[in-house]
Chains A and B, each alone.
Chain A
Amino acid sequence: MTDAGWVLDPRTPGAEKVALLTWLMLAVAAIAFVMVLGLLALGLARRRRLPLGAERWVVGGGLVFPAVVILALSGLTVWALDADTPPAGADPALTVNVIGHQYWWEIRYQPGGGSTVSGEVVTANELVLPVDQPVQLELTSDDVVHSFWVPELGPKRDLVPGRTNHLRFTIDQAGDLRGQCAEFCGAQHARMAFLVHAVPADEFETWLANEAAPAPVPTTDSQRAGMATFQQEACSSCHAIRGVVDDPAGLLGADRNRVVIGPDLTHLAARDTLAAVTVPNDRGHLGGWIADPQSTKPGSLMPAVPLDPEQLLSLLDYLQSLR
């Protein structure tokens, strides 16, 4: 699990500008506050006449000074916002669709834009992104309004059902970051986080190629039994495992778009966490999550699927093989 974010630790050019602007605004605010305290202290002392008269102080300190600050801030606003616009002739961005659900993130890497993979790559709750390459996120929601927020990467952007919002940035430093839903979305809004792994471009390509591949074939009997459990029980009604269950519960839409209910599990074992960064992705937590989702994340929309102990153990063997 990763530490929380920090707005003042920027990892993109846009976030750098905002961080700089923030420090500047804090400095100006501190100076202005000291001046106000100074006047207040004078006000609590014996009466004195202000040079030039009270009205000139009111106009100077209350109108002119704020107006100058505001003018400066307006200009700086435009300067800070500019960083997200791609320069002319820039490489096409890596495009990732992020679709919000109660209470998890559906992530779909799109082909093109410098990606070496020819098809769509679907995962959940963890974004791996290349450093020094423009990334464009296309954001929408399947249900209610959510918001995508990684403090180090710059602005947050809402995921609004019925519209697609965009977020562009170029990460300039490798590292692991944590994001969290920033628009109240219901019962488990508090536990709807996600991870961002910023890695060098070649590492990203390796990861993406692995994700694009269908699910690893089970190699042991236990794993095969687990795969069978997955296919026969309720799991396959909501979760896809590419190559095993491509179309949960036959819910392909008219234009052959899958209606998505639960996260894609094709490479579940490659992820660090479960339930949108609620618990670590290890055998114990995975077993607990499957056996009783409500005790890990009460109000989550995953139902408890009753399984025999052997079924659960073999299912865990299978799921843990899905690297």
Chain B
Amino acid sequence: MTHRDADRLALLALGEPDPAAESHLVYCPDCTAELAALREVVTSARSGPRPEELQAPPDQVWKRISAELELKPGRRIRRDFLLVLAACLVGVLAGVGVVSLADRPDVRTLSRAALEPLPGKPAHGAAEVQRTGSGLRLSVTVDDLPRVAGFYEVWLLDRAAGRLISVGGLPASGRAAFALPAGLDLAEFPVVDVSLEPYDGDPAHSKNSFARGTLPG
């Protein structure tokens, strides 16, 4: 079978009319069988969920599995790993604009930036701005944060890195999603910064940044 013929069978399987191809089928059992197999794929796909309708189980299922199997602690599940991996391999993704990699039904990714380590720091990761049913949120994933005294904090800085807004604390897992306040202009504060803060009760930035990236747009 030539590629042209195979192309036409694929289109027939999708339901596109092609009277000439259909009359050929009457005399060709091979093509008829091939078409039947391809039609099964199409029917199955159309009767199943769309990719965005796929539903992952909640985190507690893994916790129950981990408990039942008595796995060593610290065996964590990483969602969004594709973002971390892509960010590490490709570098800053500035200028990508609207990208829809989100595959959960109610979350749409608007923009994404790699978080590069500051000199001498091991941490790296990615930040995503997502639109959810209840507004915008900043989803941050950072790996290799050293476990030291203090806590990690996420900030949004202006381009001159002069003004800053504290977004929230980052747990030891390095993963968190922060609901962004409605009036916040991300174009004005596009730089995502992760810093290590001491427990000294001083809300100011410690000046000890570990990773940083700039959101596009």
Partners in one complex: no
